[in-house]
Structure 1
Amino acid sequence: MAGEDTTTRRAAITAAVNAIKGAGSKNDLIEAIDKAIGVTAPLGNPAVIEAAAQACAKAAEHCRHEVEEPVERAAKKSLPQAWEGMASVTAQDVVLTAARTAEQLSEALVGGQKALVRLADGLRVAQETDRRGREALHRARSMLGGEDGFFDDMVEKDAEEAEKERAREIATDGGEARKTAAQEADDAARATARDLNKLAAEARSGKLTGNGLSPVDKMMLADTAMVDEVDKNNKETAEREYNEILSANDLERSSTRLNGMNAADRAEFQRMLDGADKPEQRAYLMKALAAGHDMDELRKFDRRIDGKSEAWLARHLTPVVTEVDASGKPIHGTMPNNFKGDQGWTQGGDGKEASCVAASTVNARAMVDPVYALGLTGGPNGQEDSEAAFRDRLVDEQHRVHDEGDGERGGFFGNGPPTGMGDEGWSEVADNELNSPTGADYERQDLSSADDRRGVLPEIEQSVAEGKPVPIKTVGEGGHALVIVGHEGGKLQVHNPWGETTWVSENDFVNGNMHKASDSRFPDATGVHLPK
């Protein structure tokens, strides 16, 4: 049977339909129809999927009435200021976070229910469309009878030719119906995988399993954002949902490292957490731990960020912040990624050097490693706040990465500005720079068609949902390197090393419209580095 997954099935039936249309002889047409019939039908039981959706709905209702509403009522009461746990965490903080966590759980269950309902509906429609297509193909096959022998094929009567063409027409309609069904099933499966993977990654506090952390500690750390969490009226801001400091990958890796520490290091790190005067400082310490830094580096980092404001921490440690509109949804226009003033996280400092591979890789690493980011923004002592000094350090680091990837340079002696880097160098620097802070081996995958790009989308979206940036290559009039850093509602958040971030649709990525993330010179995504 042809096709074991939705994407393979989609490609197989498309090839079979093309063969039906192009078949010359009766025997060729029979062979093409048989191949179209042999492609597996969309698999799955809509009723079973709907039952799972109903279970999610019941769980959401239970969570809302038995957990969310009681905690929200408690949050409105006057609570004591003291709380046993990390310093500076009040009972009010904890209960508000618990209420938010319960609300997020309810929303996740509702989101899962909606995703499963959409899958069941899409699969049911696809299976019915596929059934009609198979019936037409079988009818066309019956019209043709047995295969022609050698001499039969040499002479074909007008009536036989007319019957063959009628069979071709019916088979084409049937094949197109099966093709539509395969596309519907593929789209439904990918959308469900995308949504469920994102919901799983957002089930955050359960991923923090470090020994010695109390349930309150885990919940507070997982919930801390890099932006203002309440507005002037003490209401939660929408930005926090899209700007948590610790990704799912950070939570898992920091837990693993905590559990692997000896007793002395574990006690010292706990003292760092307890001594931090802000939730953001604690979260960035955990992120630094997740990025693989040793105790000496963690001590220095702790001293350098101690006492800093939330705004200072966000600006020095986070290259990309997701901004939202009045409705609380991400702004899908192009937004600058500036460190200070007009100085952005930009290739060559001003966008003029051809160092996009190195620059995008440096920026991607800074997004997942706050110690590395602070080295660029704050200098050797971590305290600097100069646009010019940041630019100099950023360009120097881009040049280091460019040279380590054997990138080309201009000038008579090859010592001028960067002029580009080949695919092998791109692969080397992507893995070298991103492996340590993410714990993943990055592997290049070439994308030569829309089907290739469509097929890789679930892996891209799962990776960025977990907090692992995904470098991509776009081409047209030359080449340009970008980094996918997030996804939401069928759109990909793409960082451009020209110092900006924008959103493009999944369809734009698949169908050669990636120029929307840069400019008209670079429409086609032809390569991606996936964390494995």
Structure 2
Amino acid sequence: MTTTDYVQVSTLINRLRQVLEALNPANAVSAVVTVIGMVSEPPPGDPDRIEEFATAFAVAAGDVGPVATDVQRLGTQRLPEIWRGVAGVSAAELMIATGRLVEQTTPQFTRTRGALEAYAAELRTLRTQHADLHAALHDAWRDATHIAGFPVPDPTALDDLARSLAQLIAGCIEVYDRYVVAGDALAIALGDVAGKARAGAMADSNLPPATIVLTTGSGVDGSLNGDNAILAGAQATRAADRYGQLGPEDRKRFAELLSQAPSQAHRAYLLKALAAGHPIDDVVAFGRTINGRTESWLHQHLSLVNPGQTGTATYDGKRLDQYNGVTCGSMTTVVLRSMADPLYALHLTTGGQPDNSELTNIEAVQRRLEEEQQATYERSTRNWPPQLGTPPWGLIGELNSHADTLGTEYEFRLVDDTDAGSVNPALRDAVTAVNAGHTVPVLVGDSYPAHYVLLIGHEGSDLVVYNPGNGQVGRVGQDDFRNGNLGAAAGFRHANGVALPS
């Protein structure tokens, strides 16, 4: 579905609803003529052509598998030490990492095939239903405007026409609504696949290819699992861009830093620090700080919340949640910033002095988190009754004050999950942002907006949500987001607004 198709179909749905609301026996004849013209075209798209694309991805998935196996086999063989350059690794290590990267292609191609096939099947069904509805509209018009085969209006049939026309218009709305939902589902699935192509995000950069391969396959807890990559897609792109902006001397310093890094995780965090916009001197100092640390130490101190692991988010056994009843927006902001900026996360967990036990014990960490929440809360609630929590404009203002670090500004969009025209685009855009490597605050509530949660990942048809109210990382289905059923993961049922990267 193209953007033009999306806009045109959404407009058509709104116009059909307007006709349905105004429908009565007196205007039924003119309404049916109007509707026949409005729905003259079926939902756009060629199911056969889409299925051809699906088959091509299936063939590609089969071709890629043996390549990944062969490349990894090379890495396990005895290879000469042909370089110890920018990446600072052996040929064998690089070949193994390359093989793992290629190996990830097969399931993504398979997923793309499935998404295309599902879309083609739904499109074929909807085009058939559209043809049936269009024919029924013609029949209804003829029944009301002909008597005994002659073109004479039948006043006695107007009530029946209005009733049957209402059902047919509702059927047309459902067809086009399902078309939009199917298009969103395809866009979300393909966006998720594209978002996981992190090496591709840096492919056209000045970064050495070995560095790209050795930094895009590392996850927060050591293994890459869904959206838990240390260097998310948008961050990978920013890291490549900012590396390209370095002068020759600074680029040499950063290359040396990478060559001294003991693991892929260390290299990924160095690139993440560069992506967060820190000066090269600060990145170098950060590199020296983490160089002698284990990977488990990195994951504990530089990644507060892991999108690849559901359950209670903790630090040193203590739950990571808001410290009072009104700081949900503040804790959401703190976690969002910590996921984008490892130096900020390091400050929260160590006070900038990781070897000082007085600053790294759990009481000191909790105290800093509370102070950071409070400071964030005070900045985002100026000229607003503090007992009411963080207003959307306060949240957006706080996020945008860190745009250089986050790589984007945010804008707030109200959502009515009882209106498909409101919730469907919001869901699509929120998931698209997450797939691209951003995190998205969501304002939720029941009878009124009451709480903020953070959308931090997307796997299959599930959204991964961090809830600062109880410190839980949970999953909620896309359909549950769409239908006002967020309760288990968010603590409230309805999505009332989203803060989207602009």
Tell me the equivalent position of 1:429: 398
**Residue identity opposite 1:341 in structure 2:** G
Alpha-carbon distance in 2 for matches of 1:298, 1:292: 9
Alpha-carbon distance in 1 for matches of 2:36, 2:373: 52
**Residue identity opposite 1:224 in structure 2:** S
Which of 149, 160, 175 is residue 166 of structure 1 equivalent to?
160
- The answer on 1:467 being equivalent to 2:443 is no
- 1:463-519 deviation per Cα after TM superposition (whole angstroms, max 9, x unaligned): 111111111111226510111111111111111113221111112111212222232
Tell me the equivalent position of 1:156: none
* Compared CA separation, residues 20 and 422, structure 1 to 2 (3 A): closer
* Compared CA separation, residues 419 and 394, structure 1 to 2 (3 A): farther
SS at match of 1:223: coil
- The answer on 1:307 being equivalent to 2:292 is yes
- The answer on 1:127 being equivalent to 2:121 is no
CA contact (8 A) 2:303 2:338 kept: yes
Tell me the equivalent position of 2:460: 489
- The answer on 1:340 being equivalent to 2:310 is no
Alpha-carbon distance in 1 for matches of 2:81, 2:364: 42
Alpha-carbon distance in 2 for matches of 1:391, 1:457: 33
Alpha-carbon distance in 1 for matches of 2:131, 2:286: 62
CA contact (8 A) 1:408 1:421 kept: no
Tell me the equivalent position of 2:261: 276
TM-score normalised to structure 2 length: 0.89
Question: Unaligned 5+ residue runs, structure 1?
Answer: 147-158, 230-238, 325-330
The Cα of 1:12 is off from its aligned counterpart by: 3.9
CA contact (8 A) 2:32 2:165 kept: no
Alignment of 1:10-89 (within 5 A): 12-13=12-13, 16=16, 19-20=19-20, 23-28=23-28, 30-31=30-31, 34-35=34-35, 37-39=37-39, 40-65=41-66, 67-79=67-79, 83-86=83-86, 89=89
- 1:204-231 deviation per Cα after TM superposition (whole angstroms, max 9, x unaligned): 21222476533222111111222233xx
- The answer on 1:191 being equivalent to 2:159 is no
The Cα of 1:312 is off from its aligned counterpart by: 0.9
Tell me the equivalent position of 2:118: 118
* Compared CA separation, residues 88 and 226, structure 1 to 2 (3 A): farther
Tell me the equivalent position of 1:206: 200
The Cα of 1:398 is off from its aligned counterpart by: 1.2
Tell me the equivalent position of 2:367: 392
Higher mean alpha-carbon deviation, 10-19 vs 122-131, is at 10-19
Alpha-carbon distance in 2 for matches of 1:301, 1:245: 16
Alignment of 1:67-466 (within 5 A): 67-79=67-79, 83-86=83-86, 89-145=89-145, 160-209=154-203, 213-229=207-223, 240-323=225-308, 331=310, 335-342=311-318, 344-348=319-323, 352-383=324-355, 384-407=359-382, 419-433=388-402, 435-449=403-417, 450-451=419-420, 452-466=422-436
Alpha-carbon distance in 1 for matches of 2:281, 2:98: 34
Tell me the equivalent position of 1:480: 451
**Residue identity opposite 1:192 in structure 2:** L
Alpha-carbon distance in 1 for matches of 2:165, 2:345: 60
SS at match of 1:222: coil
Higher mean alpha-carbon deviation, 251-260 vs 383-392, is at 383-392
Alpha-carbon distance in 2 for matches of 1:69, 1:380: 43
CA contact (8 A) 2:61 2:106 kept: yes
The Cα of 1:72 is off from its aligned counterpart by: 3.8
The Cα of 1:240 is off from its aligned counterpart by: 3.8
CA contact (8 A) 1:443 1:531 kept: yes
CA contact (8 A) 2:441 2:452 kept: yes
CA contact (8 A) 1:430 1:529 kept: no
* Compared CA separation, residues 453 and 211, structure 1 to 2 (3 A): closer
CA contact (8 A) 2:379 2:398 kept: yes
The Cα of 1:62 is off from its aligned counterpart by: 2.7
The Cα of 1:257 is off from its aligned counterpart by: 0.6
TM-score normalised to structure 1 length: 0.84
The Cα of 1:88 is off from its aligned counterpart by: 5.7
- 1:281-337 deviation per Cα after TM superposition (whole angstroms, max 9, x unaligned): 11101001001111232122122212111111101111111456xxxxxx5xxx111
Alpha-carbon distance in 2 for matches of 1:11, 1:116: 25
Tell me the equivalent position of 1:529: 499
**Residue identity opposite 1:353 in structure 2:** G
CA contact (8 A) 2:243 2:251 kept: yes
Alpha-carbon distance in 1 for matches of 2:121, 2:115: 10
CA contact (8 A) 2:144 2:155 kept: no
Which of 474, 477, 481 is residue 502 of structure 1 equivalent to?
474
Higher mean alpha-carbon deviation, 492-501 vs 400-409, is at 400-409
The Cα of 1:200 is off from its aligned counterpart by: 0.9
The Cα of 1:457 is off from its aligned counterpart by: 1.6
The Cα of 1:190 is off from its aligned counterpart by: 1.1
**Residue identity opposite 2:231 in structure 1:** L
Alpha-carbon distance in 1 for matches of 2:413, 2:36: 29
CA contact (8 A) 1:358 1:402 kept: yes
The Cα of 1:460 is off from its aligned counterpart by: 1.0
- 1:333-361 deviation per Cα after TM superposition (whole angstroms, max 9, x unaligned): xx11111122x33212xxx3311111111
Alpha-carbon distance in 2 for matches of 1:119, 1:479: 36
The Cα of 1:54 is off from its aligned counterpart by: 2.2
SS at match of 2:458: strand
SS at match of 2:476: strand
CA contact (8 A) 1:337 1:500 kept: yes
What percentage of aligned pairs have identical amino acids? 27
**Residue identity opposite 1:394 in structure 2:** L
Question: Unaligned 5+ residue runs, structure 2?
Answer: 147-152
Higher mean alpha-carbon deviation, 288-297 vs 46-55, is at 46-55
Alpha-carbon distance in 2 for matches of 1:273, 1:514: 43
CA contact (8 A) 2:465 2:490 kept: no
**Residue identity opposite 1:524 in structure 2:** H
Alpha-carbon distance in 1 for matches of 2:17, 2:414: 26
**Residue identity opposite 1:128 in structure 2:** T
**Residue identity opposite 1:368 in structure 2:** A
Alpha-carbon distance in 1 for matches of 2:494, 2:82: 56
